[in-house]
A and B are shown apart, each in its own frame.
Chain A
Amino acid sequence: MQRTKPDREGQARIPRRHVLRSAAWMAGAVATGAGSWVIPARRSFGAAPIKVGIATDLTGAIGIAGNSDLNVAKMCADLINKSGGLLGRPIELHVEDTASNEGIAVGNVRRLIQRDRVDVVLGGITSSMRNAIKGPIVERGHTLYIYPQLYEGGECEKFIYCTGPTPAQQCDDLIPWLVQNSGKRFAFPSANYIWPHRLNQYARNLVQKHGGEVVFEEYYPLDQIDYGATVNRIMTNNVEVVFNTVIPPGVGPFFKQLYEAGFLKRGGRLCCVYYDENDLNINAPQEIEGLASCLDYFRALDKTEPDSAKIQAEYQAMFPDTKYLFAAGSAATGMYRGMMLWAEAVKAAGKLDRDSVAAALDHASIAVAPGGPAEMVPGKRHCRMRMYIAVAKNGSFDIVDQSKGLVDPREC
């Protein structure tokens, strides 16, 4: 059977000159590094600027988080420069897109180190991204690295400082609260990657320690979006608390199916520790009513914490129409702590070499940060901070409990 139409003569041929022209254009773009840029400091400073590298996911699947991280970095740089800079010098941001893609990221991050010779790098959101870029930054690049996102813990390499919450910080208060307020029968439905595995291990111990039990712990492919079997298991086993680590896109349909099966109606509690204000749109409000989260900052705090309210207001003022929220789950709060703790460390050290700044950063503390003060735990390279338990009510978070003082990360 003859179905192919005759080829129109010449249409398929691409003139060699065109190829050459686009190749030259491409080469030019690669050589000059299109996609990276510098946010220069104001010219009022006489001294040469200090270079801060920001490597975060501005495009791709988690661009939403990366862009709010960059916004926060810009805001912090602005605050630091307005108050006189560091060591009499302004700071200047050098930005590279890690593009939600580890392969692309490594090359781009190398540019920060080799071409721009930055004094510190902040960024990376997923653990796989951190693992991909830490080598080029710390080992081969001999540069300080600050990782801002909540994560599974266990990053104990020298010169890597973590400013986001760890499993201990997210679970130590939350699990007893859940057992007390929601019930003893837990289910751990989870996405199949390292963060849920490690977090569940930590949470399971706590659940058992407080007299609860984990009815089942199950892992799903990252893109699974049908949870009929899981919902049935939750319903027939009389699970009272769903401690969820399924991530988008699966989490929306999963919560919806649970709601439709009547899990909330019979008094069940959803819990998801990465849920912040960004995630409240995924479901209709009634489908996640009562969902508990535990993070270092929620918008609801602005009513009671003047410092948090001020930071949020500064962010709104600097980025009035942004769709990228200043929220804890996207590492924005960790980025704030990272920038400010590093700035304190530079001031204390009085110089910029890696060893001196690292030594000062090891015990740095700041009084003002989203959610309250924060301090590094000496020798541990992780950060003590306040933690809050919030519950979704009609589409927004209400604070229901908060830690007594700063919570220890219990890492390294």
Chain B
Amino acid sequence: MLTDTGRMRDRMDTAVNAVFEILSFSAIMVLIVVGLGVVASMMGIFNFAHGEFVLLGAYFTYLFNSHGVAVWLAMLLAPLAVALIGLVVEALVIRRFYARPLAAMLGTYALGLVIRESVRGLLGGLYYNVPAPLTGSVSIGGVSFAQWRLAIILITAAVILASGVLLTRTTFGLRVRAALENPALARASGISTKTVYAVTFTFGVALAGLAGALVVPIFSLFADLGLRFLIQAFLAVMLGGIGTFAGPIVGAGVIGTLSAALPWVISPVVAEVLVFLIAIALMKLLPSGIIRGRTA
């Protein structure tokens, strides 16, 4: 029989544990959405292949690591490899869609399908485990936290901060925003919008690659890894609002928190539906997103 203080401590531990797990999943959600948000907000393109760039990040991490590269180095190289692919894809495919956002959705969806099925072929439909650079856990009180999940929370914060500074405090960021606000004037002022769009897309895709590289030790590598997050990521962007850097990130935070928190209190099957219901209700209440961006 437990004493009252013992029971109290158990409850405290559970609460601390819950907060950590929810924070950890929200961070993963934010990390995955940030690249999608950059491309959607800065270029007006809904990149349906985003999940597959996440998958590619995971795949390259596995590939480099299985060829003897240390896993932390593989995680740094993977986004670069994904960025290269992104650069090529932008020139071959994405560039043709800037004028047609609707066609862009279909085009990028097809692109995603090609990438996903190619990776499935390479993996033979199997699952592969990728080690985390940090494997131990940290104990605080009676609760132990996985070090890698803790690291992801910190890295996510750093990535958001760095991307935010890049897009809002640097000349490059200014050019990107100028090309977004008024392409004609930007071109007249000597900014090559073509280059800016290419760089922005590549940057967004590299962020997707980084997300994939960082989360693959948690979820293991499989062909549908990116697809798994696609719907939630779009919901996050819609909810947060398009047109600002912060919008999609806040949206991802909300969606991540809801999806991780609800199963603690209600049946997980109901929770999944409820996340969508709450998100739709929020979108009805805040039609231009939680963070008000530009109005179309």
A interface residue numbers (CB < 8 A to B): 1-7, 11-12, 61-64, 67, 192, 218-221, 223-226, 228-230, 232, 236, 248-249, 252-253, 256-257, 260-262, 278-279, 281-284, 323-324
Contact = CB atoms under 8 A, between A and B. Distances in A.
Tell me the interface secondary structure of chain A in the complex. Answer: loop
Interface string B111-141: 0000000001000111111010000010000
Contact of A221 (B120, B126, B137, B268): B268
Interface stretch (B79-87, B198-206, B216-224): B216-224
B18 A229 contact: yes
A410 to B, nearest CB: 29
A228 B267 contact: no
Nearest to B225: A249
Given A5-B99, A224-B272, A282-B129, A249 B220 contact: yes
B184 to A, nearest CB: 8
A50 B260 CA distance: 55
Interface of B: 10, 13-14, 17-18, 21-22, 24-25, 44, 96, 98-100, 120, 124-129, 131, 137, 144, 146, 149, 180-184, 218-220, 222, 224-225, 228, 259-260, 263-264, 267-269, 272, 294, 296
Nearest to B99: A5
10 contacts: A1-B296, A64-B124, A219-B269, A220-B263, A228-B22, A229-B18, A229-B268, A232-B17, A248-B222, A252-B219
Nearest to B103: A12
Interface centre among B14, B44, B99 (most CB of A within 10 A): B99
A32 to B, nearest CB: 23
A252 B269 contact: no
A261 B25 contact: no
B126 A252 contact: no
Contacts of B228: 223, 225, 249
Contact of B44 (A3, A252, A283): A3
A216 B22 CA distance: 22
A5 B127 contact: no
A281 B268 contact: no
B269 A281 contact: no
Given A67-B125, A249-B224, A253-B218, 12 more contacts: A1-B294, A2-B182, A6-B99, A7-B100, A219-B269, A221-B269, A225-B219, A226-B263, A228-B18, A232-B17, A279-B127, A283-B129
Nearest to A284: B129
A256 B218 contact: yes
B227 to A, nearest CB: 9
Contact of A236 (B10, B24, B124, B184): B10
B53 to A, nearest CB: 18
B12 to A, nearest CB: 12
A64 B218 contact: no
Contacts of A67: 125
B269 A249 contact: no
A64 B120 CA distance: 10
A2 B184 CA distance: 9
Contacts of B14: 232, 236
A228 B21 contact: yes
Given A249-B225, A249-B228, A260-B146, A228 B127 contact: no
Contact of A253 (B10, B96, B220, B272): B220
A226 B260 contact: yes
A228 B144 CA distance: 12
Contacts of A256: 218, 220
A253 B269 contact: no
A61 B228 CA distance: 13
Given A229-B263, A252-B220, A284 B131 contact: yes
Contacts of A226: 21, 25, 259-260, 263
A228 B225 CA distance: 19
Contacts of A249: 127, 219-220, 222, 224-225, 228
Contacts of A324: 124
Contacts of A6: 99
Contacts of A220: 263, 268-269
B220 A221 contact: no
A249 B229 CA distance: 12
A221 B268 CA distance: 7
A2 B146 CA distance: 49
B147 to A, nearest CB: 9
Nearest to A227: B263
B126 A260 contact: no
Contacts of B144: 260-262
A261 B145 CA distance: 7
Given A232-B21, A260-B137, A260-B146, A252 B183 contact: no
Nearest to A282: B127
A67 B124 CA distance: 10
A278 B222 CA distance: 13
A281 B98 CA distance: 42
A256 B268 CA distance: 19
A323 B137 contact: no
Given A1-B296, A226-B21, A218 B124 contact: no
Interface centre among B218, B220, B228, B260 (most CB of A within 10 A): B220
Contact of A63 (B100, B125, B146): B125
A232 B224 contact: no
B135 to A, nearest CB: 9
A144 B203 CA distance: 57
A324 B120 CA distance: 13
A11 B131 CA distance: 48
List the 4 closest A-B pairs by CB distance, nearest first.
Answer: A228-B21, A64-B125, A323-B124, A252-B220
A1 B146 CA distance: 48
B269 A5 contact: no
Contacts of B264: 228-229, 232
Contacts of B269: 192, 219-221
Nearest to B265: A229
B267 A219 contact: yes
Contacts of B224: 61, 249
Interface centre among B125, B146, B183, B222 (most CB of A within 10 A): B125
Contact of B127 (A229, A281, A323): A281
A228 B24 CA distance: 10
Contacts of A229: 18, 21, 263-264, 268
